[in-house]
Amino acid sequence: MKALLLENIHADAVDALRSRGFEVESRKGALDPQELIEALNGVDLLGIRSKTQVTREVLEAHPQLQAVGAFCIGTNQIDLTAATDTATAVFNAPFSNTRSVVELALGEIIALARHLTDKNAAMHRGEWNKSAEGSHEVRGRTLGIVGYGNIGKQLSVVAEAFGMDVYYYDVVDRLAMGNATKCDSLEQLLSSVETVTLHVDGREANTGMFGREQFRQMQPRSIFLNLSRGHVVDLDALHEALTSGHLAGAGLDVYPSEPKASGEPFESPLQGLPNVILTPHVGGSTAEAQENIGGFVAGKLVDYCRYGTTSLSVNFPEVQLDPEIRGTRLLHIHSNVPGVLARVNSVLGEHGINVDRQQLVTRGQMGYLVTDCGNGVTEDVVAAVKALPETVRVATVS
């Protein structure tokens, strides 16, 4: 089996796949959809980060592609509906780099609260300005977290340990961590805190969620951070809020339009502002995080291809399977309609196949049937199961 890894995925992922018998091609940069279609010829597994767009056109052009691994948290760069329709399993790393993002957020909050960017620039110009004016501790200050998922929750705990009073808002009902205060609306949060940090996902509904109205609702001289998705913030509106003095500072790690590879030019209306920290989408880019992500996602891809395990899949029914396979394991991905189990078992019975173990799990419109067959499965059996009208994909592992 062959794997294609893009966007400079950590060497641990390459080693993990090669050590399990996969042929691996690794490339540094992202590919656009047409380039990706050409590159996927003969490829069974695809690994990407945040830049490569896996569209329906890409997935439908390569029905042999078994799985896509997003070596990051987000999966909005993948057409998940198309992946499900083509029976392509998608895996990501929802936990592996949360600490890295949290530490960057806290570092930027402290740097902006202490005006470290201004003081650093002045020192490099040869100016000595030992003044406490405008510099504040973060202890005792209020932090508002928009998006209380894995990153938001961990940031909540660590910020509270720094002595900050934490408020949070999420469209999903989430349990508070520690002494954090839940807000019933975004407006309530914005009017209650001195620092706002975004940790929302990349769904289309979040596009432009932060614009002139939201910045206007923030307290004067607040700090604003976006380490989530670039398309959720109107950068022109943020520029106005900063240059007018309404906001004291901002830190951004993501942008509506980002270069595909290191070394390419970058432009933003926020460049040149002394009270703005700009980083090149490195929130999760620490050696520890990338190593953890590489091993975690590669492991999920291997478990799926070798055993059929789909635990923590983004789009498949989740099944945790025993790596010990007695005979042949038949993996049947199908439309979730009544009677499929009976029809598959009828085919197996007609061919004299004995069933040792069997699991059927459904998720939305998809069903996933795993059958361990003790006395082996011939090509004729696989062909007969494929011929069932509900079948989307059939695979065997042994």
pLDDT tens digits, 258-312: 987 788 899 999 999 999 999 999 998 888 988 999 999 999 999 999 999 999 9
Query: Any long-range contacts for 204-210 (C-beta under 8 Å, 24+ apart)?
Result: 204/76, 206/231, 206/232, 207/231, 207/232, 208/232, 208/233, 208/234, 209/233, 210/234, 210/237, 210/238
Q: What is the CA radius of gyration of the chain?
A: 25
Residue percentage of the chain with pLDDT more than 90: 87
For the chain, list residues with pLDDT below 50: none
Please give the pLDDT value at position 134.
Answer: 86
pLDDT in tens, 7-53: 999 999 999 999 999 999 999 889 999 999 999 999 999 999 988 99
pLDDT in tens, 88-101: 999 999 888 899 99
Q: Which sequence positions are flagged as catalytic?
A: 229, 258, 281
Determine the length of the chain: 398
Cβ burial 103-130 (10 Å sphere, 16+ → b, else e):
bbbbebbebbbbbebbbeeeeeeeeeee
| Angle at which helices 98-113 and 116-124 cross, to 10° | 70
Residues 185, 230, 262: CA angle, nearest 5 degrees: 155
